[in-house]
Structure 1
Amino acid sequence: MNFDTARDTPRTPHGSSDDPDVLDFSANTNSHVPEGTEAAYRDAFEAARTYPAEPPAAYRRAAAEYGGCDPQEVIPTPGGLAAIRLAIDLAVDPGDSVAVPYPSFGEYAREIRLQGGEPAFVPQAEILETDPAGHALAVVCNPNNPTGNAYDDGDLRAFAADCRAAGTPLLVDEAFLEFTGRSSLAGEPGVIVARSLTKLFGLPGIRAGFAVAIDEWREALANARRTWNLGAPALAVGAHCMRQSGFVAETRDRVASERERMREVLSDAGYDVHPSESPFLLLNVVDRGVDAVVDGAADAGIAVRDATTFRGLDSHVRVAVRTPAENDRLLEVLRAL
């Protein structure tokens, strides 16, 4: 990264509202947190008066159990985005091409450009059919944001094998994977997995996540990681949350049930709903208009995500899956628009 590149690379728009009077469906984070999380945060105060253990062994053990890997393969990061930046920073040099899906998380392209690389955009439905040869890195978001669809495990592992054969590392963003019950690609040679605790545990302000890699990528990521890059509260809360397997299972079931109910109601109301295994739904609102839906929801005190900021989408909004009562309110408003 250099001065001119950073100066000329703008920020990427995201969802979420900080207005306490707004019912926020624009951010795709859990509306619940695991029991005991606040106590874990408060108990971390004394630990915060000294530097965290380096490396943070307890956090790595919890992440390994949560992510299905060995603790030595875990590289702690302050959120999934930090894991993504770390991988791209190591893989991409000025002038490099990177295979990037679209529509998908806008930070991939931004981080690539910050390193002087060039995103080679591929439709997200076709990303696993891309020839990785000639790319410095390939990126997959599984499940994909904002569309919500997950990839077949066999197809994904076959693509990882193609990347290995081409000598191209593969970055897999699994920020929403735990909502699906699908297997992680953690431990695959040549694959860097990025995991986030923001979405599932409803804690975007904690900034806790991790990367998983083996072989030379593990060594490079571990050495490049900043010392003490997670504070004591993030380490304590993250480790606590990742051990709450009952909360994870309950959340997955609740979100799946509510997502299907919302899909049925919205489809009956004339919305074109994209298939999803994630805690959100992408709606094509071409007949109503994006502005009409976004503004109409805002008039009712509800924030929905204008998805036209995602590359390739020009008539879409994204809505999160929240509690049944909150979802009822959203459905009432959207049906009336």
Structure 2
Amino acid sequence: MLADETKKTEVWDTKTQAFHGGQEHRFLDNFVEDFSVTTNYLGTPRKALDAAREAISEVHHYPAANQEPAKTSLAQFLWPSNYSEHHGRLLLGNGASELIDLVVRKTLLTCVSRGVTKPKWKGGPWNVQYREYQRSAENNEFEIMDPTYKEPVDLLCVVNPCNPTGDYFDVESLKAFIKANVVSGGTVLVDESMQPWHSSDFRSDSLTSAHAFVKEMWEHDQIGVHVIHSWTKIWSCTGLRVGSVITPTASHCEALRKIQVPWSVNGPALKFVEAVVLDDDYMKETWENTTRLRAYLIDQLTGLNDKWVYHGKPFLSWVWVDMLSEEVASKAIDLARQAGVPVRSGKPGYSCPTFVRVAVRKEPEIARLINAWKSL
């Protein structure tokens, strides 16, 4: 039951904001588990949460303007063997959304300097993806091209793995797609927020390790490849707002810092990052069990309806479910909410009314959702 239906509908200003999951829990008086967000099934790492709590006692001080030592800690996590070589290309932000907007705004300035009065943007090649990239491009008056648009564009944004569809480019396929779809002098934003779920060897299939490719794209064609991470999903800390961007060169990083609001990442968030990158056990358990739990979730859903279609790679923290009927999907969303286990509708934001996105969770919580959907 909804505690306050009016407040729920007022959470998002649809004229100015993109719809997102993760808000319904605050209006459910019987809330059990949030299946609408793609956070880690393990919840927030305890030691990192304790570090953030302890940092609250220092809120009378400004956070570190240079984001240290959290930035170095994250650099060591990304590049264990040679972090010092790439540290200057890394910038933290108030979630990925702030950094997305910084890069889009900087790209617009670059386009204007090149004499491009109406730069083109496209995402994809997936039919839908996380909407903040398009929203920022629209706000900055880029011409929005459909993912099926075949010509290279000034700003290419690829969410990989794609949230919500679950599509995934291996790193070599991703490089080829980038080369074919951005103009000389253009900008690329690749969101790898969900890529660390890949495996303990995730770095080898990631643009974070493709240093020669990024360097070549910049030096040969003046194409700036940026890699975005929202760390709030893998470490289940969405309320803290922690993101990062890896820029093509240190100079690109400096240019973004120049237009970034000072102290954009708060003290507790910085302390959280310092601690969480050391929690090897948390990551090991994530890699060992997410794939198993996702397979279990699909098996349980299939038991309800063997006609539904499931999308996404096995390692991902969610399932994109096509229920093949808008009526069934709508009923499923209502039933899940009534049971205190909200899921993400594919209709608002994504315009996929027969789809729902269901996060991977532990068996008892999955049982609660399955029980709510038995009437489907």
TM-score range, shorter chain: 0.7 to 0.9
Which residue of structure 1 aligns with residue 160 of structure 2?
142
Percent identity among equivalent residues?
24
Does residue 154 in structure 1 map to residue 172 in structure 2?
yes
Does residue 45 in structure 1 map to residue 56 in structure 2?
yes
Which residue of structure 2 aligns with residue 330 of structure 1?
369
Distance of 1:184 and 1:66 partners within structure 2: 14
The amino acid across from 1:206 in the alignment is: L
Task: Kindly state the Cα deviation for residue 159 of structure 1 after the two structures are TM-superposed.
Answer: 2.6
Which residue of structure 2 aligns with residue 235 of structure 1?
270
Aligned-residue Cα RMSD (Å) equals 2.3
Instruction: Name the TM-score, length of structure 1 as normaliser.
Output: 0.88
1:97 to 116, 120, 144: 120
Which residue of structure 2 aligns with residue 15 of structure 1?
21
Distance of 1:162 and 1:300 partners within structure 2: 47
Task: Kindly state the Cα deviation for residue 199 of structure 1 after the two structures are TM-superposed.
Answer: 0.5
Task: Kindly state the Cα deviation for residue 242 of structure 1 after the two structures are TM-superposed.
Answer: 2.2
2:94 to 62, 67, 78: 78
Distance of 2:286 and 2:273 partners within structure 1: 17
Which residue of structure 2 aligns with residue 29 of structure 1?
39
Distance of 1:261 and 1:291 partners within structure 2: 23
Does residue 321 in structure 1 map to residue 321 in structure 2?
no
The amino acid across from 2:317 in the alignment is: P
Larger mean Cα displacement after TM superposition, 169-178 or 239-248: 239-248
Distance of 2:280 and 2:14 partners within structure 1: 44
Task: Kindly state the Cα deviation for residue 96 of structure 1 after the two structures are TM-superposed.
Answer: 1.9
The amino acid across from 1:25 in the alignment is: F
Distance of 1:197 and 1:138 partners within structure 2: 22
Distance of 1:312 and 1:8 partners within structure 2: 14
1:223-242 Cα offsets, whole Å, 9 max, x none, are 22222111111110122112
Q: Give the conservation status (yes or no) of the 8 Å contact 2:119–2:154.
A: yes
The amino acid across from 2:339 in the alignment is: A
**Where has structure 1 moved over 6 Å in runs of 4 or more?**
none
Task: Kindly state the Cα deviation for residue 248 of structure 1 after the two structures are TM-superposed.
Answer: 1.4
Tell me the matched-pair count. Answer: 324
Instruction: Name the TM-score, length of structure 2 as normaliser.
Output: 0.79
Structure 1 portions without partners, runs of 5+: 1-6
Q: 1:121 to 1:312 in 2, by over 3 A?
A: farther
Distance of 1:272 and 1:13 partners within structure 2: 24
Q: Give the conservation status (yes or no) of the 8 Å contact 2:30–2:339.
A: no
- Residue 336 of structure 1 aligns to a residue whose secondary structure is coil
1:121 to 146, 151, 158: 146
Q: 1:284 to 1:90 in 2, by over 3 A?
A: same
Task: Kindly state the Cα deviation for residue 44 of structure 1 after the two structures are TM-superposed.
Answer: 1.2
Q: 1:336 to 1:252 in 2, by over 3 A?
A: farther
Structure 2 portions without partners, runs of 5+: 1-12, 110-116, 216-223
- Residue 172 of structure 1 aligns to a residue whose secondary structure is strand
Larger mean Cα displacement after TM superposition, 298-307 or 90-99: 90-99
2:207 to 165, 182, 185: 185
Does residue 55 in structure 1 map to residue 66 in structure 2?
yes
Structure 1 segment 288-307 matched on structure 2, within 5 A? 289-307=328-346
Which residue of structure 2 aligns with residue 211 of structure 1?
245
